[in-house]
């Protein structure tokens, strides 16, 4: 990894240490510019062009998602709590989440049950077993109900376990909620 970063930096100052560009260090997909993914290897990550991995890595686990134990059981009303926020699924298209582009509608409430408006939400889909995310940015739009947000597209482009982190930034501070879904081929 060090050699690859060194080669990128030789290309010029724009590629050296600049946030989000090809070769820049990253921890999650939203750290990289559009069209790049955060590729993690050996504890470090760098913004890279999407690339094919060894075909054997894409082979589903025998039994597929039926044997996955780390995922959430999807249902309308699925809710997760963070430090100060509660996020609840109101709608998903398709339902349950599936391979490709998904649209999610979620409600965000504080611990007292009050809807939380004016949030900045960053959506980071990530595959822990492959150590990569997606290059497709998810747009977040407030809906017509207080505390309700539309997330689209949530791009889950390949089969396997996806951890989708909703990074919330609001008046109460930062919070992170993680939903995990297994996508069958």
Give the pLDDT score at 41: 60
Q: Count other Cβ atoms within 10 Å, centred on residue 143.
A: 14
Identify the residue with better confidence: 69 or 24: 69
pLDDT in tens, 7-23: 333 333 344 446 777 67
Residue 150 CB partners (closer than 8 Å, separation 6+): 103, 104, 105, 140, 141, 142, 143
Burial class (CB in 10 A: 0-12, 13-18, 19+), 33: middle
95-104 b/e (C-beta count within 10 Å ≥ 16 → b): ebbebebbbb
The stretch 25-52 carries a mean pLDDT of: 72
Range ranked top by mean pLDDT from 16-25, 53-62, 67-76: 67-76
Domain ranges of the chain: 2-52, 70-183
Q: Which range (53-62, 123-132, 176-185) has the least confidence?
A: 53-62
Give the pLDDT score at 46: 74
For the chain, give percent helix, strand, coil, nearest 5: 10, 45, 45
Q: What's the CATH architecture for 70-183?
A: Sandwich (2.60)
């Amino acid at each position: 990894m060090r050699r690859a970063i060194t080669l990128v930096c030789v290309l010029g100052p724009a590629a050296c240490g600049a946030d989000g560009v090809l070769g820049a260090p990253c921890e999650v997909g939203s750290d990289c510019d559009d069209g790049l993914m955060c590729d993690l290897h050996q504890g470090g990550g760098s913004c890279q062009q999407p690339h094919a991995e060894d075909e054997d890595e894409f082979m589903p686990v025998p039994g597929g998602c039926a044997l996955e134990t780390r995922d959430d059981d999807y249902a309308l009303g699925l809710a997760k709590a963070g430090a100060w926020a509660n996020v609840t699924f109101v709608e998903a298209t398709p339902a349950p989440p599936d391979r490709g582009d998904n649209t999610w509608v979620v409600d965000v409430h504080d611990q007292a049950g009050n809807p939380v408006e004016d949030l900045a939400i960053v959506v980071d889909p990530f595959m822990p077993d492959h150590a990569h995310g997606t290059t497709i940015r998810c747009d977040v739009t407030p809906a017509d109900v207080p505390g309700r947000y539309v997330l689209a597209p949530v791009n889950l482009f390949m089969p396997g376990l996806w951890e989708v982190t909703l990074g919330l930034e609001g008046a109460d501070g930062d919070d992170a909620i993680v939903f995990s879904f297994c996508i069958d081929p």
